[in-house]
A = this chain, B = another copy of it.
Amino acid sequence: MVTFEQFKQLDLRIARIVSCEDHPNADKLYILTVETGTERRKIVAGMRQYYSKDELPGKQIVIVSNLAPATIRGARSEGMLLAAKDDKRLALLVPEKEVSVGSPVS
């Protein structure tokens, strides 16, 4: 069990995917550029089996915006995006209606 205070430590926000490129060193990973409302960031995401590069730009997604940066196979990732996964599919989490980029999630 977690408390509401623990949940509130996470800064979940709506971002928009600007562009997408293959990770040069990992064939399941993309390096996404996302707009957070205040800046652009690079996020490494394991989505290459599930989404084509062309269908990602423009989509609103959900990011953990205050996650400590990590280096994943040599590429820096500044946050992570949220997706649901079952045994067949991976689905990005999206807002059901478009909202302003940078909107908080709670």
Known: A93-B105, A98-B91. A84 touches B14 (CB 8 A): yes
Flag whether A103 is at the interface (Cβ < 8 A): yes
Say yes or no: is A9 at the interface (Cβ < 8 Å to chain B). yes
Interface residue count for A (Cβ, 8 Å)?
40
A positions within 8 Å CB-CB of B = 1-4, 6-7, 9-12, 14, 59, 62, 64, 66-68, 70, 80, 82-87, 89, 91-100, 103-106
Other than the given A82-B93, A91-B95, 10 more pairs (CB < 8 A) read A2-B9, A3-B68, A7-B10, A82-B106, A84-B95, A84-B99, A85-B106, A87-B100, A89-B97, A93-B93
